[in-house]
Amino acid sequence: MHSLTFQHLLSASNSSPHAILEALRSLDHAVYLYDNGTPFIACCAERYTVIQDDIIQTYQAVSFNQYEVVAPDLTINFTSKSTSDSTRFNGGFVGFISYDYAAQQQVHYRQRQQPALFIGQFSTYLELNPQGWIFKSSDPQAKHIFQQIQALLDQFQDKSEFNLVSPCTARWNKSAYQEAFSQVQEYIKAGDCYQINLTQEFSAQAKGSVLATAEQFWQLTNAPYAGYLRVGEFELLSCSPELFIEFQSERRIITKPIKGTMPRYIDPILDEQSKQTLKNSEKDQVENVMIVDLLRNDLSVYAETGSVKTPKLFNIESFNQVHHMVSEVQATLKKDVNPFNVLMSALPGGSITGAPKIRAMQIIEELEDAPRGAYCGSMGYFNFDGTGSWNILIRSIQKYQNEMSLWAGGGITISSDCDAEYQECFDKVEAMLNLLNTWYTPE
């Protein structure tokens, strides 16, 4: 089952992922994932499921890029044995799960008016290697699909366009943030919680396709878990630095929560000082270990007894705009556990809720003025054997119809300083905001 039957080098004048996605944009659900240096584009799904406004719809392919509605079905079944390289995508299930959908499994949470989940089953994908993009497929119609894809690349001329109708600005001013921050502190003092990930939306009205901006955002952020997908009028552009769960062979899983941030500086001395400040920050270590404990608890539900380990604690990883404090939790799943169930059970990720998780999500629902949508959800893939990789959707842009948004926030504890937390929001997204606003021209 799902053994590779056809592969062929594609001819493309520009081999950047952005250029290939532009050429394939008539395919309604091509999905790109950078996947920490092993980029691929999944296309021509055999079937896919979309959830929007609590309605589940499943579609089955009837011919190239033509689909019909079938009975709703979100079950994902895996083959038991790994048949090929499990360290990268080789055919399987690709998509995203929104924070809204994941949170709603456990608490009452408003839903953003846009797709809340998309998962497609893909036997056809393009893989980037030193020669270029390799078309790979185990679909019975693989040769025909290859010809159609090559024709789209050959015919490609017009790039998509994009512009902001209004500048992208913060939903909260400083005083509104202060009010929400103070309420979090009161909940902590009352014993409701000990950390809340308080986030805010930066929003704008926009026309055109976010895809037009993708290459510049990926160059700006150099994000290891970047990605892009479009489903109808919904687009998601990930510039995420954060791995949620990597499902490895032999039932091993890894999660790498980020908690703790300091800005980067051009001056190497200032930059090193910023890094050392983060490394030695007791406040950030306390926040980080809270989330590590939460994730250890989440994973232990499906893990073999005694297999949950924390091999890395408080590592500092440097990205283009910020330094992050990153820890690592490993575990071995019990036999006969479905990896998709593990993912859904662990979502939303503890690093973007706070702790304890259920109460944290209730407080987030109360204090944040808008549902998060895809932000803080997860985007990624499973191979047919259950291996795969899923990110946390931070530093990500979502657009539905003419509404687009970018979010940022941070973990609030009893020792947090409001001014510092407010600034941290901007440390995380200021470079992305500044780039995004270059597409705004006042009339």
How far, in Å, are 121, 297, 303, 332, 383 from residue 251 at the CA level?
21, 18, 9, 5, 13
What is the per-residue pLDDT across 181-213, written as a single tens digit (0 to 9) for each? 999 999 999 999 999 999 999 999 999 999 999
Distance CA 115, CA 52 (A): 4
What is the per-residue pLDDT across 103-161, written as a single tens digit (0 to 9) for each? 999 999 999 999 999 999 999 999 999 999 999 999 999 999 999 999 999 999 888 99
Catalytic residue, candidates 201, 235, 256, 259: 259
311 Cα distance to chain centroid: 24
Residue 259 known to be catalytic: yes
Residue 382 pLDDT more than 90?
A: yes
Average model confidence (pLDDT) across the chain: 95
Distance CA 67, CA 5 (A): 23
Catalytic residue, candidates 22, 201, 235, 242: 242
Residue 335 known to be catalytic: no
Residue 352 pLDDT more than 80?
A: yes
**Helices 357-367 and 174-189 sit at what angle, rounded to 10 degrees?**
150
What is the per-residue pLDDT across 385-428, written as a single tens digit (0 to 9) for each? 999 999 999 999 999 999 999 999 999 999 999 999 999 999 99
Considering the four listed CATH numbers 3.90.79.10, 3.60.120.10, 3.40.50.970, 3.30.230.10, the one that applies to the domain covering 1-175+199-246+370-406 is 3.60.120.10
